[in-house]
Amino acid sequence: MEGDLNTTFRALADPTRRAILARLARGEASVLEIAEPFDMTQPAITKHLKVLERAGLIARGRDAQRRPCRLEPRRLKQAADWIGTYRRFWEESYSRLEDYLQELQPKEKPRDIKKTRDHRRTR
């Protein structure tokens, strides 16, 4: 399934597609409704929707007239576990590094209270 995840990452790399996902997080919508806030033609939006659908990030309804799009959160969560965010990756890493460096160093100076200032987020 590695390949699937790669497709998902490529789909998420585009700002318009991320904005479409954010719109669909509020509820399902037709192509027309999705296209409304964008300065883009409907075929251009349809193209983006196809990429998102192939990546498993959205699904489209059967209703031939409207074919509403809705979010498929499972795949998005999977990708999010991976990329997280750059900031979260490094904030957590540095916080762990700080603790680890304390362990490595001889404790000749009194330990300060910085640990209590670490705002650790759990997910």
- Point out which residues bind other proteins (CB under 8 A): 1-2, 5-6, 9-10, 12-13, 15, 18-19, 21-22, 25, 73, 76-78, 80-94, 96-102, 104-105, 112, 114, 117-118, 122-123
| Residues 14, 20: Cα–Cα separation, whole Å | 10
| Residues 66, 82: Cα–Cα separation, whole Å | 34
| Residues 52, 72: Cα–Cα separation, whole Å | 10
Cβ 65 to other proteins, closest distance in Å? 27
State which residue, 62 or 123, has the beta carbon closest to other proteins.
123
Cβ 64 to other proteins, closest distance in Å? 29
Best CA proximity match to 52, nearest among 32, 84, 23: 23
In this structure, are residues 68 and 28 in contact, taking their beta carbons and an 8 Å threshold? yes
In this structure, are residues 98 and 92 in contact, taking their beta carbons and an 8 Å threshold? no
State which residue, 21 or 69, has the beta carbon closest to other proteins.
21
Cβ 78 to other proteins, closest distance in Å? 6
Cβ 9 to other proteins, closest distance in Å? 5
State which residue, 13 or 64, has the beta carbon closest to other proteins.
13
